[in-house]
Structure 1
């Protein structure tokens, strides 16, 4: 059974049912039933038109359920005529499905879950494993999301920015369980980019590819984090980098700069440097200035402080950091790094330890703890009687 084929066909089949008049929740249930039938029937002889087969079976499942529910008689009147089996329509309505799953009435977590289920074709179990929550919890979340969007008209224009934020959230989850969410986000964003000509869609795809290209170099054999400056750049995927840069350049040429294009430009400058020492930090600071102007995000300004510290020296970075709220996530870790660069190792060690205590991510906590231990070992060796 070609699971990848089934997943790729799922959004198109779901869209056909919704276009025919099925509400989103009922249509999604019918499509899932059709996928179960496909798993049973196709190994004996796959159909010539897989999408058409799925549409026909899903529509019959929907009608069966509609007819069995007396409370839905009025809707049955609209859909009782079953279309004759035949080739599935060539029109790709997947873009509208993206918009529906990223509807502003949904919470970010619900939008992500619904997108993975309806557009990505993942099972509830797979999504639950990826987010490390019980399957029953994820099922409830998806059910609530489906009910929320069931009353939304399918022909309403969608918000591209909301769709991109949802896909970016998926990408940042990385890998967990048996689903590679980073790879899934790249696949879905490629699909979106093929459906719409929009510079920010291209910018997000470029950003994902540039980050994904460094993935294998980000972790040590023991699972520990490897900072960008210490990564083995020979392990970076140069094919993905070249594709990401090419997509980014085409997007920037449209002169409609957005936050994902700016982030991708920063990632491209890192990817272009043959070593950490050759990084064009001055240009990176300029891109962070653009990004800060676009977003007003304090997190962007925090990252900018690191770049300033590299471009103009650690004291300049500390001065930029002093303008920010100390309660910002990673503020203490950035302060530790800049103080170490400035030669104040005792203070840096204390800050690394404090940052480790505040870290919510286990891998990040372990990395910061190691940095504190490294500096404390160095300080002990320097002190009288330190060995």
Structure 2
């Protein structure tokens, strides 16, 4: 027990002694209440200085952003849009260190930053739509790009606020169409607060009406390769018409082949089954060249009223008339008669004019010339066409 008691006294004495080699320097390094208070004040001043520098940098950033927007949009446009999006200020105290700064000022700065950010996003959105519409603008009535432009515009504005979207409808028009659109907004025909759908409905009635679509559809159905026309020109023109009518490529390939000369259709159908619409053009050009050969058969020319009648005959009916001799020979006729072709032409003309069936030989209604039973009239008809002029006895050649 005595030994333990002595050890405790030794430990207490060692604890009261200063560490070796430290002395008064160790006592001076110990923190005191005054030193801690001073450190806290220094730290608070540093934080305050950092906040001031951050606010200064934020203000400089806002000014630079505002100047950039003014260069792009103009000073008046930026001021007007900032005024539209400015909320009322809120006056609340926020500084935990008793700074003389109100939340009203901070809230105003935050709201201004939000407005500038929205303005920047809106300007970038408008620039994106404007760039996407370049080269695809609708220029006026019956513009074949109408549906393609509308589809591309809808992709660009998908997901953006409606109040932004309605303002960029005008970027889809140029030239006369843009002038008509702006004039409609000025004279009240189109409301200023009209939605994007209402503005496109107005544009559809002016530039892509149902009557316009019907006329384009008629042009598409009648479009065929012309003489001295290149395959590329025909291919491009037919594709533009089909795109305007939203016709799928499968139907477009069929219509393209049907517009070619008859002797090329079979080979073109084989290529169409294996190629896309663009590849079909490449195959035809590589095999036959840019210009295809047409038949050397020439239509007879007529003058006066008969020319109008002949021009009124449709292509299919004319083809039927030209092949009449071959059809007659195939049906067992020993030799085609010259009068048969004349009768066929007369019948075709009568069909076009929707005339009643009047016989060309005997001039009697109720049957056609090929069905005429008046043998005497037929003989007179053939004799009149095969009769050659004879010399008159009283003429200079008489004896």
**TM-score when scaled to structure 1?**
0.26
Bigger Rg, structure 1 or 2 = 2
**TM-score when scaled to structure 2?**
0.26
Q: Which has the higher helix share?
A: 1
